[in-house]
Structure 1
């Protein structure tokens, strides 16, 4: 199975990149590609830019990565209760490509981590409701609250209950492809 994994963040120390990288390690029998949104840095979407310059090649490149995958692992950063600007901009540009749904009718395992107790609950709620309209089948969601207490950079998730929850959801995702 070909898996595309990325964080909805452009932070160099993204806790969501750490989470999605950790989650992808449970798919060691699969072909996993971890993307960095910094490699898809484009001008902020504006209709006039699209009319004047067309859709950036990086948006087409990102869409090709989606199209080449069977499963998307996505851990969203929550900024002020919603998507990060970096993610939203890539999302906006890819959505403008004619004849495609943004997520290309792919299965998505949606995650979020945050330093707070809600674990990105707001962004997970928004994405779970919005992404199906854009060609995503959100198979599972996972929230990791209190990131700096529940995650260790070398060990991964150290909260046993949250680790067990993640593993259970990964097994559900894997069984969908069996």
Structure 2
């Protein structure tokens, strides 16, 4: 059985190192796993008025993809010691579906690139959000990449072998975690 995951990046920049981590994950998947990278830049900020009336097609499509996925891969940049609003916004939208059915019990891998400690603070904050919406984050391996230490090219692509190996190991672990939770 193929594990189908979707990933999205909280950074909306074209040359985002967090999007680069997702591309690295997709390029280093174990056999029996697929990853679709979804652009979340057109998703409107959560608004209860929109939620109750006319949802844009891009939002409806994203929520359907999240619901159909076996697992999520969240690339989490760090903005002011916390997660990016774009990433939190998608989680907020998805959590508003009836009975939290889109997120409830879904396995998730979290990885990220930022300065200094490589998005560790924002990832730990994201793990707190996961508790409330009952996403089930993979405990290990953690992937914290310093976005400014030469591990990425000018387009945000991973060029560091250690980062690539860490991301690949995380995808293997996510596959195993997802299979374990599906039993």
Paired position in structure 1 for 2:100: 100
How far residue 33 of structure 1 moved from its aligned partner, in angstroms, is 1.1
Unaligned 5+ runs, structure 2: none
Deviation sequence 1:104-124 (CA, Å, 0-9, x none): 32111101101x111011110
Question: CA RMSD, aligned part only?
Answer: 2.6
- Give the Cα separation in 1 of the matches to 2:157 and 2:79: 26
TM-score by length of 1: 0.81
Relative to 1, partners in 2 of residues 1:101 and 1:124: Cα closer, same or farther, differing over 3 Å? farther
Question: What residue ranges of structure 1 are gaps of 5+ in the alignment?
Answer: none
Q: What residue in structure 2 maps to residue 131 of structure 1?
A: 130
Partner of 1:142: 143
Shift of 1:148: 4.9
Could you tell me how far apart the structure 2 residues matched to 1:4 and 1:104 are? 15
TM-score, normalisation: structure 2 = 0.79
Q: Within 5 A, what are the aligned runs for 1:28-67?
A: 29=31, 30-38=33-41, 40-42=42-44, 44-50=45-51, 53=53, 55-67=55-67
CA distance in 2: counterparts of 1:110 and 1:155, whole angstroms: 18
8 Å contact from structure 2 (residues 17, 147) kept in 1:
no
Aligned length in residues: 173
Q: Look up the SS of the partner of 2:98 in the other structure.
A: coil
Correspondence for 2:120: 121
State the partner residue of 1:171.
172
Which has the larger share of strand? 1
**Greater length-normalized contact order (CA 8 Å, ≥ 6 residues apart):** 2
Alpha-carbon distance, 1:127 to partner: 0.8
